[in-house]
Structure 1
Amino acid sequence: MTDESLNESGKGIGFFEKYLTVWVALCIVVGVAIGQWLPAVPDTLSRFEYAQVSIPVAVLIWLMIYPMMAQIDFSSIVNAGKKPKGLVITLVVNWIVKPFTMFFFAWLFFRVIFSPFITNDLATQYIAGAVLLGAAPCTAMVFVWSYLTKGDAGYTLVQVSINDIILIFAYGPIVMFLLRVNHVIVPLDTILLSVFLFIIIPLAAGWLSRMFLIKRKGLEWFEAVYLKKVGKFTIIGLLLTLVIIFSFQGDVIISNPFHIGLIAVPLIIQTLFIFVIAYFWARKWRLEHSVAAPAAMIGTSNFFELAVAVAIALFGLNSGAALATVVGVLVEVPLMLYLVRIANRTRHWFPESSLAK
């Protein structure tokens, strides 16, 4: 895929989404500056908490997640049986492989390779943040990756819908298990509260509003007008959340700026590793490219909004775990665009006709 063709296909991405990495970098700078020169801002925000959950951040995270949940058409799940192989790849990679390989790479780098550069406590925090990322498959941005690879939009929606349902029941237990392995004991009620706040509530709100508005205004209006308008809140909520997070992270970044790079290394390796597994599995099974590419992208990318939310709820705004999840946001977009290019350049590896069974 040439740079020109990538730019042409990039027209499907909104301005903020296309340059998300730039905005994230700017938010890091703005957040750190606020924390250093206007410390009253994070001090004031820290007072608005309930059960270790920041109320301002919770509101912003709901703004992030709701537009994604409103896109999900759960009635389309009945069509999944027509092409089960794509679902098998997505589900096995997401729930049986990905969380555990993420834990392994994080442990390998933070406990072993990078141990001379970071404290044991920070290693624990960074591993926890990586676990929170690895256990949450992508929900929203995968629609962008699917579009750029000319994926089957309907099938992608089915894959995302099923993953969201599994996410409700599997995310908490998987995270609890891996955090315990990492010697971090998290109470069950804390995990359940996070899942309820950041998955079930926005999922229910998205489903109810979708049903109500489609019935009243029609599906075409809902998708062309409503989703387009509320979708802007995802990026706005994400960027404002990052400003708040980095206003608390200023001292850590200034005193250890290279930690951003250290955290990025296992996250990048994990992303490439998962893509290779899913994409070559799809090739082995001879799935058509419009199913194979999105199937690989869902497992490769992360539901980083949820990971940031849970990291804040469990460990706090100024924790190493929250920082690790934010670095996940920073590295994901450019890396995923690179993988989109690879997928499009290897389109000829896959059949274009409906051979996936």
Structure 2
Amino acid sequence: MVLFAPYAVFFIKITSHSGTHISLSSSVVAKSVAVFLGIPLGAAIITRIFLRNIASPRWYDQVFLKWMGPWSLIGLPFTILVWLTSQGHQVVHQIVSVIRVAAPLVVYFIIVFPATLHVAYKFGFGYKLATTQSLTAASNNFELAVAVSVSTFGANSNQALAATASPLIEVPVLLGLVYLVKIIAKRFDSRN
């Protein structure tokens, strides 16, 4: 999280050779990252510390987390829905741009996911750790991309459209990869 703002500045200002001057402040990027990731992380840390101390670790693990777990599954589709409705007009009217975003993402998934799975397998990781690492490596943190692109380039920019369109590709592909990993689970020692 701390390095995301310097990375954004580096990739947008230094490595980009688009010929246009881009006004980018690392403080704006840092604020966006803090809002989109820092607040939820801070809330989770505070909740964990206080609830485990006030109630008990057992209650926190067996009652609270079981109650809270389904809400995270609702949160992701809700977030995607809000992003897509805010960018729906652009997504529909610039479908060629969405397809241009989709092509490299699909290639990325095709390369990164199996490569990570293979490396994890070769290093002797078990099934659970290998699949977790592979899915994490294939994930693109699109929520950060949306935060940075909207705060830097504006909500109606092509950059915001590209960042918003990426979950349209990422979420279904990652769900498909979950089913793929379930199919190939027999190749791993799934006892660990």
Q: Sequence identity of aligned pairs in percent?
A: 29
Superposed CA deviations along residues 57-102 of structure 1, whole A, max 9, x for unmatched, are xxxxxxxxxxxxxxxxxxxxxxxxxxxxxxxxxxxxxxxxxxxxxx
**2:150 is the alignment partner of 1:316:** no
- Which letter does structure 2 place at the counterpart of 1:179? I
Q: Report the alpha carbon displacement of residue 294 of structure 1 after superposing the two structures with TM.
A: 1.1
Is the CA contact 2:139–2:170 (under 8 Å) kept in the aligned structure 1? Answer: yes
Secondary structure of residue in 1 paired with 2:95: coil
Distance change >3 Å, CA 286–CA 245, structure 1 → 2: closer
**Conserved in 2, the CA contact under 8 Å of 1:283 and 1:349?**
no
Q: Quick check: 1:275–1:299 contact (8 Å CA) kept in 2?
A: yes
Correspondent of 1:215 among 19, 41, 53? 53
Aligned to 1:60: none
1:196 aligns with 2:34: yes
Alpha-carbon spacing, 1:251–1:292, altered in 2? closer, same or farther (3 Å): closer
Q: What's the CA shift for 1:270?
A: 0.9
Q: Match of 1:178, as an amino acid?
A: F
Which runs of 5 or more structure 2 residues have no equivalent in the other structure?
none
Q: What is the TM-score when the length of structure 2 is the normalising length?
A: 0.79
Q: Distance in 2 between the 1:336 and 1:177 partners?
A: 28
Query: Aligned match of 1:177 in 2, 10, 23?
Result: 10
8 Å CA contact retained: 1:275, 1:300: yes
Q: How far apart are residue 274 of structure 1 and its match?
A: 0.9
Per the alignment, in what secondary structure is the counterpart of residue 346 of structure 1? helix
Distance 1:216 1:352, change over 3 A: same
Residue 252 (str. 1) matches residue 90 (str. 2): yes
Amino acid at match of 1:288: G
SS of the equivalent of 2:9 reads helix
Check 1:230–1:250 CA distance in 2 against 1; reply closer, same or farther (3 A cut): same
Q: Distance in 2 between matches of 1:255 and 1:231?
A: 37
Distance 1:328 1:255 in 2: 16
The 5-angstrom pairing of residues 25-40 of structure 1 reads: none
**How far did 1:211 drift?**
0.7
Partner of 1:258, secondary structure, is helix
In structure 2, the CA distance between the partners of 1:290 and 1:228, relative to structure 1 (3 Å rule), is closer
Amino acid paired to 2:153? F
In 2, Cα distance between equivalents of 1:319 and 1:227: 39
Superposed counterparts of 1:83-162, under 5 Å: none
User: Is the partner of 2:3 in helix, strand or coil?
Assistant: helix
288 and 246 in structure 1: CA distance in 2 versus 1, 3 angstrom threshold = closer
**AA in 2 matched with 1:187:** S
What RMSD over aligned residues (CA atoms) do the two structures have, in Å? 2.8
Per-residue Cα deviation, 1:7-38 (whole angstroms, up to 9, x for no partner): xxxxxxxxxxxxxxxxxxxxxxxxxxxxxxxx
8 Å CA contact 1:311, 1:322 repeated in 2: yes
What is the SS of the residue equivalent to 1:286?
coil
Instruction: Look up the match of 1:267.
Output: 105
Displacement of 1:252 in angstroms is 2.6
Q: State the one-letter code of the partner of 1:174.
A: Y
Partners of 2:73 and 2:128 in 1: how far apart?
A: 27
Deviations 1:138-171 (A, max 9, x none): xxxxxxxxxxxxxxxxxxxxxxxxxxxxxx2222
Q: Is the 8 A contact 2:113 2:134 kept in 1?
A: yes
1:208-258 deviation per Cα after TM superposition (whole angstroms, max 9, x unaligned): 111101112223433444345545554655555555544543443343233
Cα distance in 1, alignment partners of residues 85 and 130 from structure 2: 40
Q: Where do 5+ consecutive residues of structure 1 fail to align?
A: 1-167
Corresponding position: 1:289 with 2:127: yes
SS in 2 for 1:169: coil
